[in-house]
Structure 1
């Protein structure tokens, strides 16, 4: 069974703002020769990650209400430059 996440979309006032941000980041990665992937960085590694990537989505709250969703395709744990454990929630850019 899939499991969904819900997150605040800080800095966006509309779905269009989020779409523009995603397009900008994908273009930036392409120009840098990196894979054209969209991800969201979070501090906490989900404990039920397998359920999230098994058809689950990230629902974005914009201006106080859930306005859109992105399919979650992968979760990648990593340690940042300050030694803090984080993870990338890899999302379908559509």
Structure 2
């Protein structure tokens, strides 16, 4: 299975991501879906779109850590207000936490093979989530 990975800019935590995805300009109503889907804008259209849509997800890097994923529902081209072409990644509204993993900054998106992707967290934390900077420091220490 093939996935994408992308940085989330301007978001400090999973809670911030949830709130951001509820804003109208970050969602789209598309044919065949009763609900509005979260959307990510990007420039390049993935050449392996069909493979991605066969069960792939978008993994999200927040504060230097891969923290979650969302299943890819559709990938579409768009024409922006300035006339340039872009791409919309339409996502499942369900945010799936994954085992935190450090990730250095990069531009745009990258392909991520299933073998290299962090596993989903299979249990809900029993305490409040740690702040992302503290979680990053602990992860880098191997704790």
Partner residue in 2 for 1:20 = 19
Shift of the 36–8 alpha-carbon distance from structure 1 to 2, 3 Å rule, reads same
- Which residue matches 2:62? 62
Aligned residues: CA RMSD:
2.2
Cα distance in 2 for partners of 1:47, 1:36 equals 25
Matched, 1:5 2:1: no
Normalised by the length of structure 2, the TM-score is: 0.57
2:22 is paired with a residue whose SS is helix
Unpaired runs of 5+ residues, structure 2, are 30-34, 95-143
Q: Secondary structure at the match of 1:73?
A: strand
| Deviation of the 1:23 alpha carbon | 2.2
| 1:37 has 2:54 as partner | no
Larger radius of gyration: 2
Match of 1:75 in 2: 75
Q: TM-score, normalised by structure 1?
A: 0.84
Deviant stretches of 4+, over 6 Å? none
Are 2:28 and 2:38, in contact at CA under 8 Å, matched by a contact in 1?
no
Counterpart-to-counterpart distance in 2, 1:13 and 1:75: 26
Task: From the superposition, tell whether residues 79 and 6 of structure 1 become closer, same or farther in structure 2 (CA, over 3 Å).
Answer: same
CA contact (8 A) 1:25 1:38 kept: no
* Cα distance in structure 1, aligned partners of 2:56 and 2:83: 29
Write the distance in 1 (CA, Å) between the matches of 2:28 and 2:75. Answer: 18
